[in-house]
Structure formats: C-alpha cells, structure tokens
Amino acid sequence: MANTNLKVLSYNIYWGGHRQPLEQTIEVIQKSGADLVGLQENVNREYEDQTPEIAKALGFSYVRHAVLDALEEFGAKGNKLRARWTQQAGQSTLSRYPITAQSPGGSGVQVELPSREKVWMFNTHLWHYPYVPYQLLNVEFFEGEAIDPNAADAEEQAILSARIGHETEVNKVLWDIKNILHFEETVFLTGDFNEPSHLDWTEAAAQAGLYPLKVAYPTSMEVTKTGLKDAFREFYPDPVAVPGFTWPAGTYPDSPNSSISDPADRIDFVYFAGKGVKVKNVQRLGEDPETSDIAFPEYPSDHRAVLATFELP
C-alpha cells in the first residue's frame, strides 16, 4: 500500500486578510497546496468572519472556532466576535477532505482521508501580550514590564511571564489533544502561539547573537512533553543555521513606533504526533524570497505561514 502525503498549513491571516483583497489570502492558501489549514485571526476589522468565503473559494470543509455575537454595540456588520480571545475564538480549521467529528473540548476536528485513514487537526491562537521578546528587549508594546536580560533571574522572569500569558489557554487544547492521543491516530496542532520555542532560544543561539539569552519557554516545553513534535525543528534541527523566523513578515503595520525594528522570531508552528509519520518538507510562505521559501509580491499578512508536508504510513 502506498504512503499518503499530507500538507498542513498554519496561517495567521492578520485581521481577516483586510490589508489586501481577500483573493490575496486565498491565493496564498491555494499556492501552498495545503490539505489541512489552521487559520488564525479569521475576522476582519469589522468583525466579519472570512472563513465561509475562503472555504467556498477553496472548495474546503471548515469549522469555525469563534464566539460570535449580534450585539450592535460593536458597530460592526453581520456577525461580530466578542471582545475576548480564547482557544475557541478568532480561528478556523479548513480541510480538503470531509470533517467527520469534533474533539471533546472543541478545539480539534477529525478528518477522513481518501485512504480512509482518519487524522486529527487542532488549531490555536494564544494571547498576544505580554510578549516576552519585547519585554527582554525593552520594546514598549503590548504591555508587560521590561525584563533585564542581564539579570541573574532573567530566564525565570521570562518563563513566569510566558506562563501567566499562556499556560491556562494552552493547557485547554493540550487536555483536548490528550483525549485523542490514546486512539493512536495521527494528530496535528497548528497555531500562532505568540511565544517562541525552547528549541530556538538555546544557549548556542544566544551565543550566536540571535537572542539575548537562553529561555526554556514553557508552552513549547508542555506541547513536546505531551508527545507532539515540532515539524520545523524535526526538519531543520539547528536553530542557529536555520532560525526559521515567522514574525514579523516585513514591518508590523500596527507598530506604534516604526523606527524601532520588531525582533524577528519563530512563533507560528505545526506540531504533529503519529506512529510512522515523517516530515518530508517544511516551507515558509511570506513577503520576500530572502525570508520565505514561497514568496508573494503583495503578501497580505504580518505573519509568515508555515507549511509542513508529511508522509503517513
């Protein structure tokens, strides 16, 4: 029996792809050839969910993980997103193949492939502040007190800040995944985690000047402890040779001070678990051939998308 190839895309489309016509966002997904897509920020500036239009153009099935409200106080058209972001808000999962079930906690869906094999796709978007790299570099944006990277307890402060921002939310989705893993079906987890990885902020990377210090970031630690592997680091194990930055794609358009460069980092991930599953390739989609494997002249997002190609036995 032939092996199955499957492409999984994690893509923060930046406020519903509002900077460009929605066709630009759809083109990115189409050219990726993705079979499973985890979208983050699927609503535009008027709080309109773009998922149905994107899915229709692709011919994909979808599940929206959004908390919608019809209150007119938002001053928006159509459906509105409540003013809160959790594991269940502001994101969608799209699939080329039929969606056959949803996970107990609602953050994942089961997909049946043409081979009749069933896989699970989870998707998340963690809270965006305080953002620890900004705290360590004293970038006054997205709240959070500055952390002196030369302090004796700088790593401990960084870890605590990351835990405060993300521990509760990531534990929800990991609890959901743990309910599925015992079935021994293949699992994927995509997302904008708004937190770097302990596999990147290593002592060697700090010595190379990529980061101000080593930080064992807790979210990526917990994800890997659950049994999931980071597809990018499986394919590119050396964070110094291939940092794989996904943020920002160009200059962050909402930065309050355009004269200050946003520190580049890898905060968008595709994780996986499954017996015999192999990573065949990982590519970044973005704004420039120098920073992206697949580049678009008018790239619509502030995050580079991550595309992982897997071989399933």
pLDDT at position 2: 67
- Are the C-beta atoms of 128 and 142 separated by less than 8 Å? yes
Examine the pLDDT at 35 and tell me if it is beyond 70. Answer: yes
pLDDT at position 87: 40
CA dist., res. 145 & res. 137, Å (int): 11
Gap between the terminal Cα atoms of the chain: 9
Question: Vertex 170, ends 169 and 176: CA angle to 5°?
Answer: 100
Rounded mean pLDDT, 142-164: 93
With a pLDDT cut of 90, the percent of the chain lying above it is 77
Q: How do beta strands 68-69 and 305-312 pair?
A: unpaired
- Are the C-beta atoms of 129 and 143 separated by less than 8 Å? yes
Question: Tens digit of pLDDT for each residue in 222-257?
Answer: 999 999 999 999 999 999 999 999 999 988 777 766
3-state secondary structure the chain: CCCEEEEEEEEECHHHHCCCCHHHHHHHHHHHCCCEEEEECCECCCCCECHHHHHHHHCCEEEEECCEECCHHHCCCCCEECCCCCCCCCEEEEECCCEEEECCCCCEEEEECCCCCEEEEEEEECCCCCCHHHHHHCCCCCCCCCCCCCCCCHHHHHHHHHHHHHHHHHHHHHHHHHHHHCCCCEEEEEEECCCCCCCCCCHHHHHCCCCCCCCCCHHHHHHHHHCCEEHHHHHCCCCCCCCCCCECCCCCCCCCCCCCCCCCECCEEEEEECCCCEEEEEEEEECCCCCCCEECCCCCCCCCEEEEEEEEC
pLDDT at position 154: 98
- Tokens 């036995």 correspond to 313
Locate 278 and state its tokens. Answer: 């192999």
Question: Tens digit of pLDDT for each residue in 156-179?
Answer: 999 999 999 999 999 999 999 999
| Average pLDDT across the chain, whole number | 90
pLDDT at position 254: 76
CA dist., res. 152 & res. 140, Å (int): 22
Weakest-pLDDT range from 137-141, 197-201, 304-308:
137-141
- Are the C-beta atoms of 222 and 174 separated by less than 8 Å? yes
All structural domains of the chain:
4-312 (3.60.10.10)
Weakest-pLDDT range from 42-56, 187-201, 273-287:
42-56
pLDDT at position 79: 42
Distances (CA, A) of 151 to 132, 136, 207, 213: 15, 10, 16, 10
Rounded mean pLDDT, 262-284: 96
Weakest-pLDDT range from 81-90, 144-153, 243-252, 263-272:
81-90
Q: Which residues contact 198 (CB under 8 A, 6 or more apart)?
A: 215, 216, 217, 220, 221
pLDDT at position 76: 42
CA dihedral 128→134→136→138, nearest 10 degrees, is -140
59 Cα distance to chain centroid:
22
More confident residue, 43 or 67: 43
- Are the C-beta atoms of 15 and 90 separated by less than 8 Å? no
